A = this chain, B = another copy of it.
Amino acid sequence: MIESKQNKRVKQWKKLHRKKYRDQTEAFLIEGWHLVEEAIKSDWTIQTLIMVEDRERPEVWSHMDTIYVSQDVFKELSQTETPQGIMAVVRQNKLEFKPKYNKILLVDAVQDPGNIGTMIRSALAFDIDVIVLGKGSVDLYHDKVIRATQGAMFHIPIIQDDLELWINYCQQNEIMVYGTALDKGAKSLNQVDIQDKFAVMVGNEGHGVSSDYLEKADETVYIPIHEQSESLNVGVATSIVLYHFSLLT
C-alpha cells in the first residue's frame, strides 16, 4: 500500500490532472464506481485500478493491476467532494476515421466541460456514430467532461481532430452537413428533411459555429424558440437536433 504523497507513482497520477501530461502519457484518470465500471465494461484499456485502503475490489476485477493507497493519498488525488475510494488510470483511445461513420457530430470550440459531457451523453442516446471535437473545444479527458458524460464516453467513438478534414470527408462521401445557427434565415429544424447520412455541426457557447465552417454546410438549421428567449444552452440545442434527427432516420 502506498502511504506517501511523495511516492513516484502518486506524483505521476497527480500530473494526469494536467492536459499536457495526459497528452504525453496518452493516459487519463477516472474516479468513482460508476465511471470505473463503465470503462471496464467497454473496450477501453484500464492500466491501473487505484483503491483506498479499506475498500474491497470486486471479485470479477481480480485480474486487474490494482494498487491500494492510504486515505490521505487518495484525497490528494481525488477531484470530487465526496470521494468513493476508487479510481483508474485509463489509456487514451486513439481512433481514426472509418468509412462506416454515417451519423457524425462535429463540435466546434465548445468550452464548457458540462456542455461537452451532455453532448456526448445525448449523442450516444440518439445513435450518433462518431463525435469529433474540433480545435478550441475543451479536452475530452478533462475530469469535468468525463464526469458529465456519466460513462457515455466509453460507449461511443470520440475523436479530437481538425473539423475541416471531416467536413471535406463528408462532402466527398455524400454525407449532408448541417450547420446549426440562431439565424432565422436558416431552416427551421422541423422543416428539415434529412438523409440517412448526416453530420451536425454545433458551436461555441458565445459565437456558435465559426463562419468558415458554416459556409461549407449544405444546410443551416435553427430551433424555433420564443421571441423573448435569447438562446438555448448549446448542450440542450445539440440534444434537440440529435433527437429530432433520430426520429427521421
In chain A, residues 215-249, which have Cβ atoms closer than 8 Å to a Cβ of chain B? Answer: 223-226, 228-233, 235-236, 239-240, 243-244, 246-247
Q: Which of A225, A230, A231, A243 has the most CB of B within 10 A?
A: A243
B121:A233 contact, CB within 8 angstroms: yes
B190:A125 contact, CB within 8 angstroms: no
Q: Which residues of B contact A226 (CB under 8 A)?
A: 124-127
In the complex, what distance in Å separates the CA atom of A239 from the CA atom of B247? 16
Instruction: Judge if A107 is at the interface, Cβ distance under 8 Å.
Output: no
B190:A225 contact, CB within 8 angstroms: no
Residue ranges of A at the interface with B (Cβ–Cβ < 8 Å): 114, 118, 121-122, 124-127, 150-152, 155, 190, 223-226, 228-233, 235-236, 239-240, 243-244, 246-247
Nearest-neighbour CB distance to chain B for A81, whole angstroms, equals 13
Give the number of copies in the complex. 2
Name A236's closest neighbour in chain B (CB-CB).
B239
In the complex, what distance in Å separates the CA atom of A225 from the CA atom of B230? 28
Nearest-neighbour CB distance to chain B for A227, whole angstroms, equals 10
Name A229's closest neighbour in chain B (CB-CB).
B125
Q: Which residues of B contact A233 (CB under 8 A)?
A: 118, 121-122, 235, 239
Name A112's closest neighbour in chain B (CB-CB).
B114
B122:A236 contact, CB within 8 angstroms: yes
In the complex, what distance in Å separates the CA atom of A152 from the CA atom of B224? 16
In the complex, what distance in Å separates the CA atom of A240 from the CA atom of B229? 16
Q: Which residues of B contact A114 (CB under 8 A)?
A: 114
